[in-house]
Structure 1
Amino acid sequence: MSDSAISLRDIRSFHVGGATVELVGQPRQEVRVSPDAAPRTVDMNGHYVSGQLYAQHFMLEQPRSDVPILFWHGGAMTGVTWETTPDDRPGWSQFFLRQGHDVVVSDAVERGRASWSPYPQIYDSAPLFRTAEDAWYLFRMGEAEDFADRRPFSGQRFPIRRFDQLCAQFVPRWTTNAETTIAAYMQLVARFDRVIVIAHSQGGWFAQSLAARMPERIAAVVLLEPAGAPNLDKEGLARSARVPHFYVWGDNCDSHKAWKPYKSDAIAHSDSLRDLGGQVETLDLPKQGIYGNSHMPMMDDNSDEIASMVATWLRRNMN
C-alpha cells in the first residue's frame, strides 16, 4: 500500500490568521538588494501582515472519510516533518492519503512559508536556532557525548546516516508567539466542519490547547510525544475531555532529563481527561515491546507500523 498511486482532485495552498500591523519610526537604508545592481533606498516603515500560518490542502479524488487530517509539526520544524522521511521513504501525509483521508500540512506561525515579521519591532525578541547537537540530544538519537562520533543508542530506529538531512529542515523559531499561533490554528480548524489533528512535540501542546477551545470541531487528537501540556481550568479540561486523545511515546524517554518532565506533564493531563470520562489511550512503544524509537517516530524505520496503529485507533475511536 505504501507505494500505491494517490489520485488527487485538487491541491490548494493558503495562509490563515494574522493581522495587519503598522511599523513606524524605522530609519531608511541604502541596500544593494541585487548583487549586480546599484543600492536603492529601503524603507521598512509601513504595513505588514503578521501572525499567519501556511497550509497546503491535498484533496483526494475519492476520499473514504469526510474528516480531513491536519498535521502540526514541532519546534524548529515545518510541515516537511510529514512529507518525506530523511531517507526518502513516503511520509505520514502520504500514508494517510492512502488511508482515504484528505490531509492538510501546515507551517505554523513564523515557520517556513508562513513567513517572519521584523524583530524586535513586531516580534518582541530574536529567534532561536536549533543546532545539530541540540537535536541529537533532544530527539534522543544517542547520548549527548556521543554526538561527535555519531554513535546512536543501541537499536536506534532513526536512519542515523541521514541525520544531517533532518538537520537541514530546521528553521528559526520564537518562544513568545504562542497565543498568536493558537489564534491561527483556530482559524485553520474553523475552515472545516470537523478535523482530526495529528501533532508532534510542540505541536502537541497546541493540539491539546485547541481540543479545549474547539471540541465540537475536533473529531480526534493524536499526539506524538507532546512537549508537555497546557494548564487548563476545569471548564477547559471538561471541554477537552469531549475529544478522543491518543498519545504515542518512543524509547529512552522515561530517564531523559529533558523529556521526563514533558512526559510527566502530558500523562497528568491525560489522566485528568480520563478522570472526567474522556476517551484517552496511550501507546507507549517500549511497553508494547517496540524498542528504539526516537522523538521522530514519523521518520523512524518503522514509521509505517506506527502509522498503522494510529490509523487503527482512529477507526475504532473517532467521534
Structure 2
Amino acid sequence: MNVPLAKIEQRNVTISEISSFHIGGESVALSDQPRFMMRVAGEGMAREVDLNGSYVTGQLYANHIKLASPQHTEPVMFWHGGAMTGVTWETTPDGRPGWQWLFLQAGYDVIVTDAVERGRASWSPFPQIYDTGPVFRTKEEAWSMYRVGARQSYDARVPYSGQRFPVSGFDALAAQLVPRWTTHDDMTLDAYQALLEKVGPVHLVAHSQGGWFALNMVRRVPHLVRSVVVIEPAGAPRLEQDDVARIGDIPHLFVWGDFIDEVPSWKKYRTATDQYREMMATAGRQTREMDLPAMGIRGNSHVPMMDDNSADIAALIVDWMAQNPGSAK
C-alpha cells in the first residue's frame, strides 16, 4: 500500500518566548566525603574543594518554545530514547531541520526535554547517590540497534539496502550519545509527571525508551495527555482492563520503521507493544499503527526523525494529530 505523503507548509515562524528550566528531583546531603586542594580553572591558584554538602538529583531539563500565534491550544512535548538527549529532535545529524522546527512550522508550541541523568539534566555522584554505574553505547551497538546496518557491516559502513538514514551523518549521531543508568525508571517517571503537571496537557511524541515512559505515563496522568505518538517504543506496559477504561479517550499512534526482523531485540519490543495496542483496539479505543514499510515507505531506521524522509514522517504525524486532537479533559 502506497500512501500519498502530506507536507508541512514551509512558513515563517514568529517566536514569542523561549524558556528553559529544570523540574523534579530532590536534595540529597552527603557527608564523610573528601576535601582536597586542586586547581579548577586554567592556570589559577589551587583551592580547597569540599565534596560534603547537598546535591540536587532526579531532575530533568525542558526547553519550551512558544509561538507568537500558535494554531493549536496544546504544545507538542518530545521525549528522547535511551543513551540520547533532546538533541534527537533539534537538527538531523546531517544538518537538516529537525522535528522541533517542523512542528513549530505546523503551528505547535514545542517542548524538548533531556530526561533524568541525560544531557542538560545533569547527573549525580556515583556511587554516593546513584547506586549503580552508567551504561555507555558504542558506535557498533548504535549501528545495529538503530538498524542502520548489520553489526558485522559496521567497519565497512555498509548499510541495509534501501537504508534512509544518512550514513554520512552517523558519526555526528554517535557524538550525541550519552551515558545512561538502567535503574532510574521510577525517578524518571516522577520527573516527567512533575513536568506534565507544570505545563500539561500536551501532545506527547516519544521515541524508543521514551516511548516506554510515555505509555506508562498515560496511565499515571491521563488528564494531562491529549494524544500520544510513540516512535518505535522499547516495549510497553502490560495493561489491565481498568487501564483501558481510564486512558481510552487518548488517541494513540504507533510508528514503526524497517528492518525490524533483522534485530531480535526489536522483534521482542514490537511484540510487547503490539499486545498493548491490540488490547486498546479490541476495546474499541482510538489507536492507529503506521507500519511504514507496509504503507510503501521503505528503508526507515530506528531514528526516522533523522532519516532522509524525516520531514515526510513528521507530516504524517501532524496530519494524524489534526484528525485526532484528543478529548477535552
2:11 aligned to which of 4, 12, 27: 4
Q: 2:144: which partner in 1?
A: 137
Q: 1:114: which partner in 2?
A: 121
Change (3 A) 1:152 1:281: same
Q: 1:258: which partner in 2?
A: 265
2:312 paired with 1:315? no
Query: In structure 2, how many angstroms separate the alpha carbons of the residues matched to 1:34 and 1:57?
Result: 32
Aligned-residue identity in percent? 50
C-alpha displacement of 1:230: 2.0
Residues 208, 240 of structure 1: 8 Å contact kept: no
Query: In structure 2, how many angstroms separate the alpha carbons of the residues matched to 1:13 and 1:132?
Result: 30
Query: In structure 1, how many angstroms separate the alpha carbons of the residues matched to 2:298 and 2:114?
Result: 30
2:287 paired with 1:286? no
Q: 1:305: which partner in 2?
A: 312
Q: Which 10-residue stretch deviates more, 120-129 or 156-165?
A: 120-129
What amino acid does structure 1 have at the position aligned with 2:318?
A
Query: In structure 1, how many angstroms separate the alpha carbons of the residues matched to 2:9 and 2:174?
Result: 25
Query: In structure 1, how many angstroms separate the alpha carbons of the residues matched to 2:284 and 2:12?
Result: 41
What amino acid does structure 2 have at the position aligned with 1:42?
V
Change (3 A) 1:29 1:241: farther
Q: 1:150: which partner in 2?
A: 157
The unaligned stretches of length 5 or more in structure 1 are none
Query: In structure 2, how many angstroms separate the alpha carbons of the residues matched to 1:119 and 1:316?
Result: 47
**Counterpart of 1:153 in 2: which secondary structure?**
coil
What amino acid does structure 2 have at the position aligned with 1:152?
P
Higher relative contact order (CA 8 A, sep 6+): 2
C-alpha displacement of 1:213: 0.8
Q: Which 10-residue stretch deviates more, 27-36 or 112-121?
A: 27-36
Query: In structure 1, how many angstroms separate the alpha carbons of the residues matched to 2:188 and 2:239?
Result: 17
Residues 207-246 of structure 1: pairs in structure 2 closer than 5 A: 207-246=214-253
Q: 2:48: which partner in 1?
A: 41
Q: 1:247: which partner in 2?
A: 254
Query: In structure 1, how many angstroms separate the alpha carbons of the residues matched to 2:224 and 2:176?
Result: 31
Query: In structure 1, how many angstroms separate the alpha carbons of the residues matched to 2:225 and 2:292?
Result: 25
Residues 61-72 of structure 1: pairs in structure 2 closer than 5 A: 61-72=68-79
Residues 192-211 of structure 1: pairs in structure 2 closer than 5 A: 192-211=199-218
Residues 244, 317 of structure 1: 8 Å contact kept: yes
Q: 1:30: which partner in 2?
A: 37
Query: In structure 2, how many angstroms separate the alpha carbons of the residues matched to 1:227 and 1:241?
Result: 21
C-alpha displacement of 1:83: 0.5
Query: Aligned residue pairs: how many?
Result: 319
C-alpha displacement of 1:255: 4.0
Query: In structure 2, how many angstroms separate the alpha carbons of the residues matched to 1:273 and 1:212?
Result: 13
Residues 13, 56 of structure 1: 8 Å contact kept: yes
**Counterpart of 1:191 in 2: which secondary structure?**
helix
Query: In structure 2, how many angstroms separate the alpha carbons of the residues matched to 1:290 and 1:170?
Result: 27
**Counterpart of 1:278 in 2: which secondary structure?**
coil
Q: Deviation digits for residues 247-275 of structure 1, max 9, x if unmatched?
A: 00000013421100001101111111222
What amino acid does structure 2 have at the position aligned with 1:91?
G
Q: Deviation digits for residues 153-190 of structure 1, max 9, x if unmatched?
A: 00100000110000011111111111010011111111
Query: In structure 2, how many angstroms separate the alpha carbons of the residues matched to 1:238 and 1:147?
Result: 46
TM-score of the two chains, using structure 1 as the length reference: 0.97
Residues 9, 106 of structure 2: 8 Å contact kept: no
Q: Deviation digits for residues 216-261 of structure 1, max 9, x if unmatched?
A: 1100000000000123444334323331110000000134211000
C-alpha displacement of 1:10: 0.5
Change (3 A) 1:255 1:148: closer
Query: In structure 2, how many angstroms separate the alpha carbons of the residues matched to 1:309 and 1:2?
Result: 13
Residues 77-92 of structure 1: pairs in structure 2 closer than 5 A: 77-92=84-99
C-alpha displacement of 1:3: 4.9
2:30 paired with 1:18? no
2:222 paired with 1:182? no
Residues 251, 293 of structure 1: 8 Å contact kept: yes
Query: In structure 2, how many angstroms separate the alpha carbons of the residues matched to 1:33 and 1:247?
Result: 48
Q: Which 10-residue stretch deviates more, 250-259 or 307-316?
A: 250-259
Query: In structure 2, how many angstroms separate the alpha carbons of the residues matched to 1:276 and 1:208?
Result: 17
Query: In structure 2, how many angstroms separate the alpha carbons of the residues matched to 1:194 and 1:86?
Result: 30
**Counterpart of 1:254 in 2: which secondary structure?**
helix
TM-score of the two chains, using structure 2 as the length reference: 0.94
**Counterpart of 2:182 in 1: which secondary structure?**
coil
Change (3 A) 1:285 1:196: same
1:165 aligned to which of 156, 166, 172: 172
What amino acid does structure 2 have at the position aligned with 1:9?
S
